[in-house]
């Protein structure tokens, strides 16, 4: 366990270049892996119009995205394994097939963000979106009721 | 009045910091020890200013002084005292105040400890840098983040109260100060690193000065992160404790670089190598804490933590840019002095392992940093919103984590310079067998998942190595001085606190790693729709829905379901997960109810309140070993405390053993001692 005293010996550096090349190659490979992993796991955030337009151009692309809009009033249908509804941003609509229970405050008109993907090859005017996660959109700042500070 | 007092404190703090910087600069320029000694006095005034300001804010909070806008936004008469006090760090302005206060505290401790060397240019420069940072944070409070801004218009009778998420668990009162003690503490080694570069004394001196501060700050940061995860688990109700949320990452990235630093300084202390690397690491750590503050406090992120929005972002980004540019510029300028004489002889050696450890930690930090800031960069450059999915983080970090676990098992047994085959076999064969047998046992017993089994095996490998080192140490002490086992253990640990404290920290890391692997790999989660009286079963646990109650108050509407939990015929009690709805907010806040056990947690959430048919949706999650994450955090704090506890007698110079946990006792390297002698003030 006891180390010898440190002796500083100047050494020739014949292998230096080789180390640098090897290190550079390793770094490049790791970077390649990281960037690849990143690009495979990007989730785009789209409004319904943007999402539906992009899906219309490439109907076979099932990339994961977050679709933002509001729940169309009267479109909600409960199903045993989840819920279906229509999400809209005022101009465009998409049908959402959600797996699992929607969150507590999910209701007609609620602003929602659904995460999932469009059904592959679905060329309908109102395409179907497979969702497994619904978030109710809300501002970052919380304001409790009943107290108005400035009046 | 309290507003004026507090603002006076901030003004005092800023003036003292600015005057201190000027005095120090003059003293350094004229090489006048007396002026430098005067300059350090300003540190105490900075502390006084910060104390006055923080005291005024607490006073205003406790006395419901709604003439201050901050009090109105973050406090209500009904807020319990604990959360009233904690409101100081509940929002942007208050947390900047807490930051300034903690920094003033660290600076005071540092200049007190080094009071005999007040005229040493290295210490003077470090004080100057620390005061510059302090001046910046006080300037923030004079300008964009003034905590004492008066309430506009009429003064209301009551305030809005803290965010409901921030006032339903006691951890919220502890977690932020811990995190800040860690974050801000990194300013001290950063100051000394800049001082070392500025004075040209880039040897080991600055490392020795800051070792304890760095370790203490690191321990606070670690505990702060663990507490944050615990809070997330107990309060947010999604069942997990770590979501790779940008705010979590913001605290984790500097932790990674600081951990790398704690290990690589040992190589510099022992062999004089890696100087540039160590300076870069600590400068990066400091910059990452500023980046973290920017991410958390400027509102650039759309995350569960983003409670604040303000113009402070530009200030913080500018400061971050300045700090980074200063660091990089200084390193480039001192390039000629930073060349180090030593080199790594063999990759299979202690320094080789430390180097690999550092590459892994740096890679880890890069992966997390990239995933965190990538959406911001894309949004800034292409105005496109996106997020990086959790699978990216999981897939990238699990292999790095396992590799680090492997190194942790192997490295403490490696000798410096080069290892011979027989030495390796003698030290590692036993622990390696323990690890291999553990893996085999897990596989035979039907454990799923390669990563999990590997994690358990490597954990056992590492623990066996730790036990071996403790056993050898205690046996040697007993041979030398006799006595019983407990006494020998105490004397052994006291004889080399850094080694044995470090080993305890390693043990804590194993505990956390095993708990992570088990809880991530083997958690079962299901949702049930239940009517009153209905009983369901998950993993031999039975859950009966007994009924629910509804409490309506002006502030919220709270549903609470009562669930009886049974296992193997034993009644484990009634648990009551709740769901609160705040009329003016679209947020429904679930409060989980957790039955914590040493082997597994039963985690109940109310997903939705009773519908027309009285049916609730109950979320049930059974997660093994979760509690060991928090226990591991406690062990980690204990280990660090053992390591930094001042040793009797050999208090001063010979605290020479590094934060290296694992260096055997040996004199400080010749280079370090020579440098200290050369550094004696003229």
Residues A128 and A63 in one domain: yes
pLDDT in tens, B610-640: 888 888 889 999 999 999 999 999 999 999 9
CA of A151: which chain B residue's CA is closest?
B154
Can you tell me the ipTM of this complex? 0.73
Query: Phi then psi for B200, rounded to 5 degrees?
Result: 80, 0
Q: Which residue has the tokens 């108050």?
A: B553
Please answer yes or no on whether A142 and B582 come within 8 Å at the CB atom. Answer: yes
Q: Kindly write down the DSSP assignment for every residue of B379-408, as one continuous string.
A: HHHH---EEE-HHHHHHHHHHHHHHHHHHH
The answer to whether residues B227 and B241 touch, using CB atoms and an 8 Å cutoff, is no
Give the nearest partner residue to A101 out of B384, B416, B527, using CB atoms. B527
Say if A8 is an interface residue toward chain B (CB within 8 Å): yes
Average pLDDT, chain B: 87
Give the nearest partner residue to A43 out of B308, B386, B395, using CB atoms. B386
Residues A22 and A67 in one domain: no
Nearest to A64 by CA among A114, A135, A125: A114
Q: Which residue in B356, B587, B675 has the most chain A C-beta atoms within 10 A of its own C-beta, making it the best mutation to test that interface?
A: B587
Residues A123 and A69 in one domain: yes
**A–B CB contacts, 8 A cutoff, strictly below:** 141
CA atoms within 13 Å, Cβ hemisphere of B516: 22
CA of B619: which chain A residue's CA is closest?
A101
Residues A132 and A84 in one domain: yes
The DSSP bridge partners found for residue A114 are A67, A134
Nearest 5 degrees, angle CA B229-CA B356-CA B656?
Answer: 85
pLDDT of residue B583: 62
pLDDT in tens, B120-161: 889 999 999 999 999 999 999 998 889 999 998 888 888 887
Residues A27 and A60 in one domain: no
Residues A19 and A84 in one domain: no
Q: Could you tell me the CATH number of the domain that includes residue A61?
A: 2.40.50.140
**What is the average pLDDT across B264-285?**
89
pLDDT above 50: residue B659: no
Looking at 1.20.120, 2.60.98, 2.60.40, 3.30.43, the CATH number of the domain B524-628 comes to 2.60.98
Residues A62 and A124 in one domain: yes
CA of A141: which chain B residue's CA is closest?
B307
d(CA B353, CA B148): 51
pLDDT band with cut points at 50, 70 and 90 for residue B119? confident
Please answer yes or no on whether A147 and B156 come within 8 Å at the CB atom. Answer: yes
The residue among A108 and B369 whose pLDDT is bigger is B369
Quote the minimal CA–CA distance from B159 to chain A in Å: 7
pLDDT in tens, A17-30: 888 888 889 889 88
- Residue A111 DSSP label: E
**What is the average pLDDT across B414-426?**
84
Give the nearest partner residue to A140 out of B306, B343, B386, using CB atoms. B306
Please answer yes or no on whether A43 and B388 come within 8 Å at the CB atom. Answer: yes
Quote the minimal CA–CA distance from A47 to chain B in Å: 10
pLDDT in tens, B339-351: 766 677 777 888 8
* Candidate from B69-78, B299-308, B628-637 with smallest mean pLDDT: B299-308
The residue among A104 and B247 whose pLDDT is bigger is B247
pLDDT in tens, B537-559: 999 999 999 998 988 876 678 88
Please answer yes or no on whether A143 and B76 come within 8 Å at the CB atom. Answer: no
pLDDT of residue B400: 94
- Strand-pair category, A93-99 with A128-136: parallel
pLDDT of residue B200: 87
Question: Which tokens is B622 given?
Answer: 């059974």
The domains of chain B are located at 1-161, 417-521+633-679, 524-628
Q: Which residue in A140, A143, A146 has the most chain B C-beta atoms within 10 A of its own C-beta, making it the best mutation to test that interface?
A: A140
Q: Which residue in B586, B617, B675 has the most chain A C-beta atoms within 10 A of its own C-beta, making it the best mutation to test that interface?
A: B586
Taking contacts as CB-CB distances below 8 angstroms, the residues of chain B near A78 are none
**What is the average pLDDT across B472-492?**
88
pLDDT of residue A90: 84
pLDDT above 70: residue B310: no
Torsion of CA A64, A69, A75, A79, to 10 degrees: 30
Taking contacts as CB-CB distances below 8 angstroms, the residues of chain A near B416 are 3
Nearest to B627 by CA among B300, B241, B152: B241
Q: Into how many domains does chain A fold? A: 2
Residues A32 and A90 in one domain: no
Question: Which tokens is B227 given?
Answer: 């507490």
Side by side, the strands of the sheet bearing B524-530 are B524-530, B616-624, B600-608, B593-595
Element (H, E) at A65: strand A65-71
pLDDT of residue A4: 52
Any domain includes A88 = yes
Residues A71 and A35 in one domain: no
pLDDT above 50: residue B88: yes
pLDDT above 60: residue B183: yes
Say if A143 is an interface residue toward chain B (CB within 8 Å): yes
Cβ neighbourhood burial of A131 (10 Å; 0-12, 13-18, 19+): buried
- Percent share of chain A, pLDDT over 70: 80
Any domain includes A91 = yes
Range of the domain at A107: 44-136
- C-alpha distances out from residue B503 to B34, B412, B473, B524, Å: 44, 9, 12, 33
Q: Which residue in B303, B550, B588 has the most chain A C-beta atoms within 10 A of its own C-beta, making it the best mutation to test that interface?
A: B588
Give the Cβ contact number of residue B178 at 10 Å.
Answer: 21
Any domain includes A126 = yes
CA of B70: which chain A residue's CA is closest?
A149
Please answer yes or no on whether B154 and A151 come within 8 Å at the CB atom. Answer: yes
Quote the minimal CA–CA distance from A126 to chain B in Å: 23
pLDDT above 60: residue B355: yes
Alpha carbon B469 to its chain's center: 28
Q: Kindly write down the DSSP assignment for every residue of B526-581, as one continuous string.
A: EEEEE-TT-EEEETTEEEEEEEEEEEE-SS-EEEEEEEEEEETTEEEEEE--EEEE
Say if A7 is an interface residue toward chain B (CB within 8 Å): no
Residue B188 makes CB contacts below 8 A (sequence gap 6+) with B106, B107, B110, B126, B130, B210, B213, B214, B217
Residues A49 and A31 in one domain: no
Residues A78 and A123 in one domain: yes
CA of B373: which chain A residue's CA is closest?
A38
Residues A67 and A111 in one domain: yes
Taking contacts as CB-CB distances below 8 angstroms, the residues of chain A near B153 are 150-151
Give the nearest partner residue to A136 out of B271, B299, B586, using CB atoms. B586
pLDDT band with cut points at 50, 70 and 90 for residue B280? very high
Nearest 5 degrees, angle CA A138-CA A144-CA A150?
Answer: 115
């Amino acid at each position: 366990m006891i180390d010898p005293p440190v002796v500083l010996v100047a050494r020739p550096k014949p292998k230096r270049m080789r180390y640098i090349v090897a290190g550079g190659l390793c770094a490049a490979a790791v970077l390649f892996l990281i960037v690849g992993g990143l690009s495979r796991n990007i989730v785009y955030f789209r409004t319904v119009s943007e999402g539906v337009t992009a899906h219309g151009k490439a109907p076979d692309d099932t990339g994961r995205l977050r679709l933002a809009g509001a729940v169309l009033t009267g479109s909600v249908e409960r199903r045993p394994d989840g819920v279906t509804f229509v999400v809209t941003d005022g101009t465009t609509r998409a049908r959402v097939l959600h797996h699992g229970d929607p969150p507590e405050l999910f209701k007609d008109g609620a602003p929602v963000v659904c995460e999932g993907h469009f059904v592959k090859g679905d060329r309908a005017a109102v395409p179907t979106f497979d969702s497994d996660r619904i978030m109710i959109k809300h501002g970052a700042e919380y304001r409790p009721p009943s107290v108005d500070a400035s009046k | 009045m309290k507003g004026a007092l507090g603002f006076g404190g901030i003004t005092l703090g800023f003036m003292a910091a600015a005057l201190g910087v000027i005095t120090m600069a003059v003293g350094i320029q004229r090489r006048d020890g007396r002026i430098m000694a005067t300059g350090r006095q300003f540190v105490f005034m900075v502390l006084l200013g910060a104390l006055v300001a923080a005291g005024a804010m607490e006073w205003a909070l406790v006395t419901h002084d709604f003439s201050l806008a901050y009090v109105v936004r973050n406090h209500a008469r009904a807020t319990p005292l604990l959360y009233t006090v904690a409101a100081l760090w509940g929002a942007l302005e208050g947390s900047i105040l807490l930051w300034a206060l903690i920094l003033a505290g660290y600076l005071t401790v540092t200049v007190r400890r080094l009071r005999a060397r007040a005229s040493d240019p290295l210490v003077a420069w470090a004080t100057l840098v620390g005061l510059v940072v302090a001046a910046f944070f006080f300037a923030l409070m004079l300008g964009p983040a003034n905590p004492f801004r008066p309430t506009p218009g009429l003064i209301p009778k009551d305030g809005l109260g803290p965010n409901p998420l921030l006032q339903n668990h006691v951890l919220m009162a502890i977690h932020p100060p811990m995190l800040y003690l860690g974050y801000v503490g990194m300013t001290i080694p950063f100051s000394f690193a800049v001082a070392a570069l500025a004075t040209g004394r880039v040897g080991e001196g600055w490392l020795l000065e800051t070792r304890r501060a760095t370790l203490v700050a690191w321990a606070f940061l670690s505990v702060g992160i663990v507490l944050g995860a615990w809070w997330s688990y107990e309060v947010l109700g999604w069942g997990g404790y770590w979501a790779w949320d940008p705010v979590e990452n913001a605290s984790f990235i500097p932790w990674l670089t600081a951990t790398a630093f704690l290990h690589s300084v040992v190589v510099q202390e022992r062999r004089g190598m890696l100087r540039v690397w160590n300076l870069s690491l600590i400068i990066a750590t400091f910059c990452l804490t500023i980046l973290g503050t920017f991410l958390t406090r400027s509102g650039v992120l759309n995350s569960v933590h983003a409670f604040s929005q303000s113009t402070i972002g530009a200030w913080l980004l500018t400061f971050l840019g300045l700090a980074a540019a200063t660091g990089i510029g200084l390193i480039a300028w001192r390039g000629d002095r930073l060349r180090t004489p030593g080199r790594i002889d063999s990759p299979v050696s202690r320094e080789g392992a430390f180097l690999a450890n550092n590459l892994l930690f740096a890679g880890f930090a890069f992966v997390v940093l990239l995933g965190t800031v990538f959406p911001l960069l894309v949004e800034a450059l292409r105005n496109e919103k996106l997020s990086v999915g959790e699978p990216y983080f999981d897939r990238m970090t699990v292999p790095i984590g396992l590799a680090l676990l492997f190194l942790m098992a192997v490295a403490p047994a490696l000798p410096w310079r080069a290892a011979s085959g027989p030495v390796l076999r003698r030290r590692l064969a036993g622990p390696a067998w323990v690890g291999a047998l553990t893996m085999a046992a897990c596989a035979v017993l039907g454990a799923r998942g390669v990563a999990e089994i590997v994690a358990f095996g490597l954990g056992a490998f590492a623990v066996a190595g730790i036990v071996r080192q403790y056993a050898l140490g205690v046996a040697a002490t007993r041979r030398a001085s006799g006595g019983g086992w407990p006494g020998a253990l105490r004397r052994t640990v006291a004889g080399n606190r850094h080694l044995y404290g470090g080993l305890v920290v390693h043990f804590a890391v194993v505990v956390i790693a095993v708990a992570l692997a088990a809880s991530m790999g083997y958690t079962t989660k299901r949702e049930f729709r239940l009517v009153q009286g209905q009983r369901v079963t998950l993993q031999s646990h039975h859950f009966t829905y007994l009924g629910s109650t509804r409490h309506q108050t002006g502030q919220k509407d709270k549903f609470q379901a009562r669930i009886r939990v049974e296992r193997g015929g034993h009644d484990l009690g009634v648990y009551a997960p709740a769901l609160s709805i705040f009329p003016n907010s679209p947020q429904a806040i679930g409060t989980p109810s957790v039955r914590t056990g040493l082997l597994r947690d039963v985690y109940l959430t109310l997903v939705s309140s009773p519908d027309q048919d009285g049916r609730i949706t109950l979320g049930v999650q059974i997660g093994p070993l979760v509690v060991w994450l928090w226990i591991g955090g406690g062990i980690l704090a204990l280990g660090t405390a053992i390591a930094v506890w001042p040793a009797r007698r050999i208090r001063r110079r010979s605290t020479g053993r590094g934060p290296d946990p694992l260096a055997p006792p040996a004199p400080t390297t010749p280079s370090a001692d020579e440098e200290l002698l050369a550094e004696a003030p003229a």
